[in-house]
Structure 1
Amino acid sequence: MDRNKIKLLLQTVKHLKFKQIYYQLYYLIRNKFFKRIYVKELKKEIHPLNWHDSFLYTNSFIKENRFTFLNLPHQFTDKINWNYADFGKLWTYNLNYFDFLNQKDCSAGEGLKLINDYIENESNLKDGKEPYPISLRGINWIKFLSKNKISEVKINQTLYNHYETLIHNLEYHLLGNHLLENGYSLLFGAYYFKDESLYKKAKQILTEELTEQILSDGAHFELSPMYHQILFHRILDCIRLIQLNKWQEDNLLLFLKGKASLMRSWLEEITFCNGVIPMVNDSAYRIAPESDQLFQFAEEIGLERKKEKLRASGYRMFRSKNYELFIDVGNVGPDYQPGHAHSDTFNFELYVRSKPILVDPGISTYEKNDRRLKERGTSYHNTVKIGNQDQTKVWDGFRIAKRAKIIELKEIDNTIEAAHNGYKNLGIIHTRRFSTHETNIIQIEDIISKKVDEEQVAFFHFHPDVKEIRILNNKIELINNGIIIHFEGNEVVIKEEEYQYCLGFNSTKKAKKIKVYFNTTLSTRIDL
């Protein structure tokens, strides 16, 4: 390992919790020298739960063993290879989640056939035996079996063994959304098997992790709107589970409802009027349920509505009659689990008359490659990059070394100003001010704290629907949108380039961006 890699690793590891390091070592040693098979005889008869879905997943399983995940289709010509890895680990994970059991077009017979095929191949499973896919698959199996009133000894025994594996391999080494998913699934397993030990652990995890992971304004602390939708869906499922199946009498339902109400408030605040979420951090289209589906689900289970201002998450949303401006003036996320964070401090998205104009490009891959590094990097966001370094050092797919911190934040009426220290090694503080004083004018001021030789560039990424941009001196015109953007500052130079806008995983489309070179100060005025 070279010296630079060691430095990155040390900068990353120093932010971890002791619990993460302990469990990394504990699981490594235990699984290498004391590996066990998690088989425990299920000695009681299992009856399906009461269950019905609020909505179904889009079709990912098509007849004749054809599956489509992450916009990548594959047909197994002979039998299903549940370890199929040609499209990367995330595709394999999706195959093992079994979301397709609860999709729009999957009969009880087809679902049973898929489950039994999986059980027959269990001894050969690899990724599917990891705790995260076990967690999601467990919920999907229980939902499917319950709503179709299916109870088969072989399936129940296999499912019980999976939960034995899960409870002995909880993702304390990762924490964050992974451990929360473990807790959600354990609750489903506890109710399905009427198992007190599973329930005790589920309640402990959910109480502790939701208390920590749901911020005071309702955001999930990893600050990905997509993951927020996923985890909000899961908590709504847990509330419905308890409401439909009377078993435990305690305060867990009340606790879950309180956290879900907060999560609903945050999602309502950051969802654009056309129903789309900002594509910030690790967010992608057609992965999570849509906001409107979740709001309808919340209504069905009688969830109380709360309205909390956006604060702790660092996100803000300015709305007027003509536009919506979403901005990021917060830190990158929890220090010990920033795997889904990007180098995007002071990033923003602008929708005009419900149509996207300036956007976050989103993500198209979870593979550890140059594409993912680029999509997480500063220059792939609507913010300022200085020299050849990122504000926050993203590396190796899901890791972050040094990270930008907000060191000052001021909010007055329709103006918000913040400063970050992501370039402190250059002796620089970057300050950005957003002002929305007039209905049709947005002002952005960038100030670099001292004059330096390093190149200073502000990036502006346009949605693919913005077809034609005209550069005239120190302004640009969006020909078909009636929008003019003016730039004033020292040594301003504007260049137009193309980039790949992410339509989802493994799917991109060419779009336009501009790079505005400046020295020390830049004033951007957007006339709508």
Structure 2
Amino acid sequence: MPVNMVPEQLSRTWHTVIRLKPVQVRYQLQYRMPSGNGRLNRFRYRSSMAVTGSPVKLIPWITKPHAADGNTFSFLNREMEMESGIRWDETTFGKLWTYNLNYMDYLLQERMSTAEGTRYIMDFIRDLPRNSTGKEPYPISLRGINWIKFITAHQIRDRRTDHALFAQYRLLKNHPEYHLMGNHLLENGLSLLFGGIYFRDQGLFAKAEKILAAELPEQILTDGAHFELSPMYHQVILDRLLDGINLLKNNHVFDNQGPLLALMSEKASLMLGWLERITFSDGTIPLFNDSAFGIAPSTKELVAYAGRLGIPVRMTRPGQSGYRAFNFQNYEIRLDVGEVGPTYQPGHAHADTLNFELYHRGKPLIVDTGTSTYEKNGRRMLERGTAAHNTVQVDGLDSSEVWGGFRVARRASIIHLHEEGNTIGAGHDGYSRLGITHYRRFQCEPDSIQITDKLTGRNQKEGTARFHFHPSVQPEIEDHTVRFRGGTISFTGAGEVSVTEFQYAPTFNNLQPARVVEVLFTGKLSTTITFNQQ
């Protein structure tokens, strides 16, 4: 390792660790000790745990995509056939693929038979002592809910399944993910809720209540957004929250369920409103931060599920999340003028401050690069970096210092936010280490958008504004003007304007060639997007 890399790594680590909550540090240390997380690795299925569950009642939930056919499994656009038996710790396609295998969402896919689903469960139980992934808290959380739903749908009463499930819930109860917090801890709480109701276990329910009562008010912002600011994870969490509401509404087991149900219903209503606001007219979400299509239920599915549960859509004023939406007959634009995410858990954040996505007449025009992988590699770094987004990069640096796959060291903070009518402007200090502040203003009119970028400060540095076009769009440059079917983009204050290729990632492991326009400038750049009259 080069000597000059050591201070840089120490700096990144320091600026990451100082933002952690004390409870995260404590649990990080505890789970790394042999007497802590070591218990996970020495887990043994104990058939002597004679705890059986009780049937629960649930109204129809959202079914999962088809992912399993015999011993052939397909997740994240990667398919594998396991002819000699299911390898629950298979890592050929990366850790996230292994997680999906262990979540067992496919138990809830359409036309999953009782016999086939039971075979998967029994195979998993037999292999559990050797399956390190299956014993991690997050897979336990998702799998536990899936097992209880499958058991409910197929009216299964099986002691071996119950004993294994209770053993896993005991493990989860003793190892909630306080070292990570964020959506992981919320998933832990929602799953423990299912375990508490299914097993009529006051201890599991109390743990769930403690987690949810603390985390829901913190993680669901005042405008309804999930605080990690990934529209995809917002959909995932909302789906799970609606499942929890489904469970509590239809199963009255503990006397103190009422306040928790009220809290969950209130937050779900807010989440629905925020999601409807940022969803485009074609039903898709902006791919801000770690987001990809095909992972979470659609907005339409979630609104319908909420309707079946009697949960209304509650719209509030745009606020804390920093995500804004403007809709006109000619176009829809989604803006990010918010923070990178919670200070102590920005694992799914990108260096994309003041980013935007633009749809023209219901079709994507300017898009985010997206997310194709969670592996710690060059592609992951590229997709999280500023150059992969529709904002300004200065001196080749990222506006927030993303590193290590899921970490952020120094990060941009929003300053000077101003909103009036269809105009919104904000600055950020992500380039303060260069002595630069980036300020961007959007002025949205029915047939045009004016974007003004300013780089101010003690140093004069060159900025690069990027505009990533959807693969279906072929932009052409003529005299500093970009022409596309349906309109033009012109620049004032630009130096060089060029077009090059990038890889668009709408789903995991799916890269599509597309074009990005790069505009070099110093000081100030005015960009005018004009749509043709039709």
The CA distance in 1 between the partners of 2:371 and 2:266, in whole Å, is: 32
Partner residue of 2:323? Answer: 315
1:281 aligns with 2:289: yes
Shift of 1:238: 0.5
1:182 aligns with 2:185: no
Unpaired stretches in structure 1, ≥5 consecutive residues = none
Partner residue of 2:94? Answer: 88
| Conservation of the 8 A alpha-carbon contact between 2:338 and 2:353 | yes
The CA distance in 2 between the partners of 1:94 and 1:388, in whole Å, is: 36
The CA distance in 2 between the partners of 1:499 and 1:523, in whole Å, is: 24
Match of 1:173 among 166, 169, 179: 179
Shift of 1:47: 2.7
Give identity over the alignment, percent: 47
1:521 aligns with 2:521: no
1:245 aligns with 2:247: no
The CA distance in 2 between the partners of 1:348 and 1:440, in whole Å, is: 17
Match of 1:356 among 364, 368, 387: 364
- Summarize the alignment of residues 293-312 of structure 1 with structure 2, pairs less than 5 Å apart: 293-312=301-320
| Conservation of the 8 A alpha-carbon contact between 2:334 and 2:357 | yes
The CA distance in 1 between the partners of 2:489 and 2:222, in whole Å, is: 36
Specify the SS of the correspondent of 2:33: helix
Specify the SS of the correspondent of 1:184: helix
106-115 or 43-52: which moved more?
43-52
Partner residue of 1:386? Answer: 394
Q: Which amino acid in 2 is paired with 1:150?
A: I
Match of 2:24 among 4, 14, 20: 20
Deviations 1:28-80, CA, capped at 9 Å, x for gaps: 114479736475954454332123433311100013x0000110000001111
| Conservation of the 8 A alpha-carbon contact between 1:55 and 1:293 | yes
Shift of 1:232: 0.2
Q: Which amino acid in 2 is paired with 1:6?
A: L
Partner residue of 1:465? Answer: 472
Shift of 1:454: 3.3
Match of 2:10 among 6, 9, 26: 6
Deviations 1:289-315, CA, capped at 9 Å, x for gaps: 111000000100000231112210011
Partner residue of 2:140? Answer: 134
Distance 1:113 1:52, change over 3 A: farther
| Conservation of the 8 A alpha-carbon contact between 2:20 and 2:344 | yes
Unpaired stretches in structure 2, ≥5 consecutive residues = none
Partner residue of 2:437? Answer: 429
Distance 1:62 1:45, change over 3 A: closer
TM-score by length of 1: 0.97
1:204 aligns with 2:204: no
The CA distance in 2 between the partners of 1:46 and 1:330, in whole Å, is: 45
- Summarize the alignment of residues 28-427 of structure 1 with structure 2, pairs less than 5 Å apart: 28-31=32-35, 35=39, 37=43, 39=46, 41-63=48-70, 65-250=71-256, 251-427=259-435
Structure 1 runs of 4+ with >6 Å offset:
none
| Conservation of the 8 A alpha-carbon contact between 2:481 and 2:488 | yes
The CA distance in 2 between the partners of 1:277 and 1:381, in whole Å, is: 16
TM-score by length of 2: 0.95
Shift of 1:383: 0.2
Specify the SS of the correspondent of 2:87: coil
Shift of 1:4: 1.5
Match of 2:514 among 502, 511, 515: 511
1:449 aligns with 2:451: no
| Conservation of the 8 A alpha-carbon contact between 1:52 and 1:147 | no
Q: Which amino acid in 2 is paired with 1:418?
A: A
Q: Which amino acid in 1 is paired with 2:63?
A: L
Q: Which amino acid in 2 is paired with 1:278?
A: P
| Conservation of the 8 A alpha-carbon contact between 1:451 and 1:520 | no
| Conservation of the 8 A alpha-carbon contact between 2:400 and 2:410 | yes
| Conservation of the 8 A alpha-carbon contact between 2:190 and 2:240 | yes
Q: Which amino acid in 2 is paired with 1:4?
A: E
| Conservation of the 8 A alpha-carbon contact between 1:229 and 1:289 | yes
The CA distance in 1 between the partners of 2:371 and 2:38, in whole Å, is: 39
Q: Which amino acid in 2 is paired with 1:98?
A: M
| Conservation of the 8 A alpha-carbon contact between 1:40 and 1:160 | no
Specify the SS of the correspondent of 1:449: strand
| Conservation of the 8 A alpha-carbon contact between 1:71 and 1:507 | yes
Distance 1:456 1:215, change over 3 A: same
355-364 or 33-42: which moved more?
33-42
The CA distance in 1 between the partners of 2:53 and 2:456, in whole Å, is: 66
Length, aligned pairs only:
522
The CA distance in 2 between the partners of 1:44 and 1:33, in whole Å, is: 24
The CA distance in 2 between the partners of 1:443 and 1:451, in whole Å, is: 26
